[in-house]
Amino acid sequence: MFTSAPKLISTWLGNTDLRIIIASIVALILSGVIIYSTGFGLFYPIEQRGGIYIASILIVICKIGYERYKKLSSSTQNLFLSLIDILIILAAAFSIYRFIVVQRAMSNDLYDIETLDILACALGLLVFTELTRRIWGWTLFWVTVISLLYILWGQDFPGILRHSGFSLEQLSENLWFNLNKGVFGSISNIVINVVLIFVLFGVLLESTGAGETLLKYAFRITQKTRGGPAHAAILASGFFGTMSGSPVANIVGTGTFTIPIIKKRGFSPEFSAGVEATASCGGQIMPPIMGAAALVMADLAGIPYLYLITAALLPALFYYLSLFLGVTVEARKQGIEPITDIEAYKITRQDKINAVMFVASILSVVVALVTGFSPAMAGFFALLVLLICSFLNPAVRRDPLRLIKGLIAGGVNAAELMISVAAIEIVVGVMDTTGLGLKFAGLVENIGDQQLFLSLIVAMTGALILGMGMPTLPAYLIIVLIMGPAIKLLGLSTLVVHLFVFYYGVASSLTPPVAIAAYVAAPIAGANPIMTALMALRIGAAKFIIPFAFAYYPTLLLVQDFDTVSFISIVCRLTLVIYLVSSALSAFDRERIGFISIILRLVIATLCLISMPLIHIPAAALGIILILFSWKIYPFNKYRKDTG
**pLDDT per position as a tens digit, 104-130:** 998 888 888 999 999 999 999 999 999
Residue 444: inside a domain: no
The chain-wide mean pLDDT, for the chain, equals: 85
Last residue of one domain, picked from the residues 181, 196, 217: 181
Phi, psi of 143 (to 5 degrees): -60, -40
Last residue of one domain, picked from the residues 121, 152, 181: 181
Contact 430, 24 (CB under 8 A): no
Residue 548: inside a domain: no
Tell me: cis bond preceding 6? Omega within 30 of 0 counts.
no
Residue 82: inside a domain: yes
Amino acid at 601: R
pTM of the model: 0.79
Q: What is the pLDDT of residue 33?
A: 93
Collapse the DSSP code of 345 into the 3-class scheme (helix H, G, I; strand E, B; otherwise coil) and give the result: coil
Residue 171: inside a domain: yes
Domain range for 170 = 5-181
Q: From residue 379, how far is each of 328, 499, 629 by CA, in Å? A: 36, 22, 51
Could you write out the DSSP letters of every residue in 455-467? HHHHHHHHHHHHH
In which band, very low, low, confident or very high, does the pLDDT at 486 lie, cut at 50, 70 and 90? confident
Instruction: State yes or no: pLDDT of 92 exceeds 90.
Output: yes
Q: What is the pLDDT of residue 517?
A: 85
Residue 74: inside a domain: yes
The per-residue pLDDT for range 597-608, each reduced to its tens digit, is 999 999 999 999
Residue 18: inside a domain: yes
Residue 330: inside a domain: no
Instruction: State yes or no: pLDDT of 388 exceeds 80.
Output: yes
Instruction: State yes or no: pLDDT of 100 exceeds 60.
Output: yes
In which band, very low, low, confident or very high, does the pLDDT at 222 lie, cut at 50, 70 and 90? confident
Residue 199: inside a domain: no
Instruction: State yes or no: pLDDT of 186 exceeds 70.
Output: yes
Q: What is the CA radius of gyration of the chain?
A: 25
What is the spatial distance between Cα 433 and Cα 312, in angstroms, rounded to a whole number?
32
How crowded is the C-beta side of 55, counted as CA atoms within 13 Å?
A: 25
Q: What is the pLDDT of residue 644?
A: 44
The whole-number average pLDDT for the span 317-337 is 88
Domains of the chain: total:
2
The per-residue pLDDT for range 451-460, each reduced to its tens digit, is 778 878 888 8
What is the spatial distance between Cα 644 and Cα 639, in angstroms, rounded to a whole number?
8
Angle at the Cα of 476 from the Cα atoms of 577 and 173, rounded to 5 degrees: 160
Q: What is the pLDDT of residue 3?
A: 57
The per-residue pLDDT for range 38-90, each reduced to its tens digit, is 988 767 888 999 999 999 999 999 999 888 877 776 778 888 888 999 999 99
Last residue of one domain, picked from the residues 123, 155, 181: 181
Instruction: State yes or no: pLDDT of 239 exceeds 70.
Output: yes
Q: What is the pLDDT of residue 643?
A: 44
Contact 246, 472 (CB under 8 A): yes
Least confident of 121-130, 238-247, 515-524: 238-247
Instruction: State yes or no: pLDDT of 355 exceeds 90.
Output: no
